[in-house]
Chains A and B, each alone.
Chain A
Amino acid sequence: AKTDNQQPTLVDADSLRYDDLKQTSVFTGNVVLTKGSLTLRADRLELREDPEGFQHGVATATGSKLVFVRQRREGTDEYIEGEAERAEFDGRNDKIHFISRAVVKRLACEQVVDEVRGQQITYDQRAETYSANGGPRAATPNQRVRTVIQPRESGGAAQDNGCARPGAPAAAKGGR
């Protein structure tokens, strides 16, 4: 989502340790990062700024919790939601790498349209595509990449008519 790049980055956390020499900040304790439509929740976030001013971050979660990332796709009502034990985002070429037990879902009007599971999934924010590969710590029983694509109603692709207007009864669509 290109517009997100122009938005300020807001980070809320319990504590922060900022090293001015190495220009890195380490946030710990219910970290919430928001930048435009991108939101990220983790237990620990290390944010670094390279000389050209691009931000690079490594977010990890403690215990069995996963890092959660959600971002709106440019100009649509679709959202991308990603979860993994570790998320690295690269501000220079706008990529988010979800590493180990990675699950990335695409949602239209809060309905999961498709879902990919694997060990590492890279989501390219610019091209809005994602690529996945399997491995020992994949989120699938057989350590391989598994993609689930939901059937679309005939001719009723969610993006064309947008979501059901708020307030209109959503009885037509099954609950998630």
Chain B
Amino acid sequence: MRDRLASAVSIILLVSLVAGTWWAADYAQRAVTTDPPRRLTHEIDSYVEDFVMVRSDPEGLPSTRMEGKRLVHYPDDDSSEVTQLRAVNQRADRPTTVVSSNFARMDEDGARIDMRGNVDFQRMAAQGRDALTIRSEQMTLRPDEDLAFTDQPATILNGRSRIQGRGMRYNNVTRELSIAQRTQVEITPGKSPAPRQP
């Protein structure tokens, strides 16, 4: 009976030793505060001032260049807001476009830019065509598809014609401008200043 008692005691000792070390390890683990999970709240997590940012297309050529006074980034929806944004969009086969506005909000990883505050969209003169200027209070851009559209009233200047209306949509790929409502066009007579090669 004595050796049964001895083995029982040693087993108890071993079990308590194991429990003790397990508890000690767990206690140590809890004591170290691991990093808190990322705060996904709508608060600025990074900001840049007087920045220039260049996006390149799949072939690595610079396609969009963005400059601004101040850019702030929000982690929760990965959006950024820029003051005094100026975005230049250039593709080898298309005329360059330059857009500027007081305020802009970029999301969808820069695929969509919502611009507000005297937005000025300029498509440079190219291939004998006059420059095209679109001005509005708000405009949404999709640089990858080279699209610009707005529901606010917009004024468009092109050569000798001046177009006003709502629901403007300009596609720089097909070079087509459409106005959905209340179109007013004024074409002044005379030769247009730009060189007119066909």
Give A residues with C-beta under 8 Å from B.
Answer: 5-21, 23, 25, 27, 51-53, 55
Please classify how large the interface on chain B is, using the bins under 10, 10 to 19, 20 to 34, 35 or more.
Answer: 20 to 34
- Residues of B at the A interface (CB closer than 8 Å) are 129, 132, 158, 163, 165, 167, 174-192, 196-198
Main SS of chain A's interface residues? Answer: strand
- Given A20-B177, A51-B196, residue A7 in contact with residue B189 (CB < 8 A): yes
Partner of A10, one of B132, B177, B179, B184: B184
Q: Say how far A13's CB is from chain B's closest CB, in angstroms.
A: 5
CB pairs A–B below 8 angstroms (20 shown):
A5-B189, A8-B189, A10-B184, A10-B185, A11-B187, A12-B185, A13-B185, A15-B165, A15-B167, A15-B183, A16-B163, A16-B183, A17-B177, A18-B163, A18-B177, A20-B132, A21-B174, A51-B197, A52-B191, A53-B191
In the complex, how many angstroms separate the beta carbon of A55 from the nearest chain B beta carbon?
A: 7
Assess whether A16 is in contact with B175, with CB atoms less than 8 Å apart. Answer: no
Q: CB-CB < 8 A to B183: which residues of A?
A: 11-16, 27
B156 nearest in chain A by CB position: A18
How far, in Å, is B179 (CB) from chain A's closest CB? 4
Given the known A-B contacts A20-B132, A21-B175, A51-B198, are A15 and B189 also in contact in the complex, defined by CB atoms under 8 Å? no
> How many whole Å from A9's CB to the nearest CB in chain B?
4
Q: Are B187 and A9 in contact (CB under 8 A)?
A: yes
**A8: min CB distance to chain B, Å:** 5
Q: Contact check, B181 vs A8: say whether CB atoms are below 8 A apart.
A: no
